[in-house]
Amino acid sequence: MSEALLKVDSLNCQFSGLRAVADLSFSVQPGAIKAVIGPNGAGKSTLFNMIAGVTAPTSGAIHFAGVRIDTLPTFRRAELGIARTFQNLQIFREMTVLENVMVGCHLHGKVGVVKALLRGRALRDEESAFRDTAFALLDRFNLAAKADVVAGDLSFGQMKVLELARALASRPRLLLLDEPAAGLPQAEAEHISQIIADLNRDGMTVLLVEHNMRMVMSLSHDILVLNNGQWIAEGTADHVRRHPDVLSAYLGETEHA
Ligand SMILES: Nc1ncnc2c1ncn2[C@@H]1O[C@H](COP(=O)(O)OP(=O)(O)O)[C@@H](O)[C@H]1O
Ligand SMILES: [Mg+2]
């Protein structure tokens, strides 16, 4: 087995009295699509926040491409190649669709502050390269015709695709997708699914949180199941589907609903 791209060791996150993530260990191999599933409140988004650097773990370690990242600031993790989308869609609604994606490109900006203030040639060249990159991404996802539209005017499904395009603009090695199909009708969920499958075919590693089980089962190479912050099962779709603890975790949720 090759070296893991992402490795999580004995990770904990305590919010006052609540253990949102409890002693969690797992790894993601390069080129894999790994799904993280579990009932609401299982700790999935908290896990993503700890990997991306928004929430500090109470204890434990996270390694990315062999580098310990759990103490690094968010932007350093992004520079190393981690990009994400959010459970609650986060786009700049007043900016154009193209500008939204260009924001994602800026991680790789080489032009320093002084040069930028002088508005020199290097800055113009860089902006124009970002514009090309952003436009190519929009084109790939059938959003090129909307490039100059204000992002807030897109349909919800288009906004979800836009957020994904912006994440890709930083040329990540690992994509963290937190419920990319949430709130979408099945046809649009399938479009997102197709995009993820295409990206993965081109080599992208994906950690996917999603409640749409059709999508999870068809896309994932393996599945990690969490409940109350704890690891309860991990493996192929068939393995977790039959696992008694997985069934009871989900039945428990139905009882409380
Ligand atoms: N910032 C926070 N402060 C306190 N509790 C939180 C915070 N974020 C999440 N939680 C709690 O942690 C648990 C896990 O939440 P979350 O990671 O959002 O679950 P999931 O994404 O699996 O639905 C929940 O009980 C939630 O209420
Ligand atoms: Mg969540």
| Assigned domain for 86 exists | no
Give, using CA atoms, the residue closest to atom 10 of ligand 1: 20
Greatest alpha-carbon pair distance for the chain in Å reads 64
CA separation for the pair 64, 131 (Å, rounded): 29
Number of domains in the chain: 2
- The per-residue pLDDT for 124 is 76
Smallest CA-to-CA distance from 81 within 95, 64, 97 is with 64
What confidence score (pLDDT) does residue 257 get?
41
Ligand 1 atom at minimal distance to the Cα of residue 43: 17
Residue 110 lies in a domain: yes
Which residue has its alpha carbon closest to ligand 1 atom 9? 46
- The answer to the question of residue 25 being in a domain is yes
Sequential pLDDT tens for the chain (257 residues): 579 999 999 999 999 989 999 999 999 999 999 999 999 999 999 999 999 999 999 999 999 999 999 999 999 999 999 999 999 999 999 999 999 999 888 776 665 555 555 666 777 778 888 899 999 999 999 999 999 999 999 999 999 999 999 999 999 999 999 999 999 999 999 999 999 999 999 999 999 999 999 999 999 999 999 999 999 999 999 999 889 888 888 766 654 44
- CA–CA separation, 169 vs 102, rounded Å? 7
Residue 120 and residue 11 in one domain: no
Q: Is residue 163 within 8 Å of 85, Cβ to Cβ?
A: yes
Ligand 2 centre and the CA of 129: distance in Å?
Answer: 35
Give the model confidence (pLDDT) of 102-156 as tens digits.
988 877 666 555 555 566 677 777 888 889 999 999 999 999 999 999 999 999 9
Test site for ligand 1: of 18, 44, 58, most ligand atoms within 8 A of the Cβ: 18
Would residue 124 count as lying in a domain? Answer: yes
Does residue 108 lie within any of the structural domains? yes
- Ligand 1 atom at minimal distance to the Cα of residue 16: 4
Range of the domain at 105: 91-171
Q: Give the number of the atom of ligand 1 that is nearest the alpha carbon of residue 13.
A: 12
Cα of 24 to ligand 1 centre, how many Å?
A: 15
- Of the three residues 120, 142, 171, the one that is the final residue of a domain is 171
Q: Are residues 232 and 249 in contact, defined by beta-carbon separation less than 8 angstroms?
A: yes
What is the structure's pLDDT at 1?
Answer: 57
117 and 235 housed in the same domain: no
The predicted pLDDT at position 48 comes to: 97
Residues 254 and 187 both lie in one domain = yes
List residues, by chain if needed, whose CB lies under 5 Å from ion ligand 2: 44-45, 87
Structural domain contains residue 46: yes
pLDDT for 118 equals 61
The one-character DSSP state at 131 is: H
